[in-house]
Amino acid sequence: MPESTGTKPSVLFVCVHNAGRSQMAAAWLTHLAGDRVEVRSAGSDPGTRVNPAAVAAMAEAGIDISAEAPKILTVDAVKESDVCVTMGCGDTCPVFPGKRYLDWKLDDPAGQGVEAVRRIRDEIKALVEDLIAEIAPVPARPRGARATACDGAAS
């Protein structure tokens, strides 16, 4: 399906600084969908580091994003993605035919404490779960097949 690999869907998450919302969304998608989806994130005006409150909020959910770094939005990143999800910077994302564009209306975690970022984190998780159900649902097991600990997405 994606131009880059032809085997699995790819998603690009974009916010202004690539320091909060898009980092959390990329981490949730990677965590929940595993290798069923290619995941990228970028910012139209990248910050210097990932928001510490976002790092702390994701750590509470068992996901470590402390080693991530903000990245600049490139035309190639958009071209290589099937779905581009913007969060507060929709007008800066280049538009190409055949791509799906979503704009998630989320509060900006910049300057907010962990308490406020938890709510944003949980909103992002719900949106990512809906996106996974659309683009990369867990394949049904054949009738009579037994479930294993490795089946499905990570929890």
CA dist 8 and 64 (Å) reads 24
Active site residue 93: yes
Active site residue 84: no
The catalytic position among 11, 93, 117, 135 is 93
At 48, is the secondary structure helix, strand, or coil?
Answer: coil
Instruction: Give the Cβ contact number of residue 29 at 10 Å.
Output: 28
The catalytic position among 12, 14, 15, 73 is 15
Cα 38 versus chain centre, distance:
10
Residues 6+ positions from 148 with CB-CB distance below 8 Å: none
Type of residue numbered 47: G
The catalytic position among 27, 33, 89, 136 is 89
Type of residue numbered 26: A
Catalytic residue numbers, as ranges: 15, 89, 93
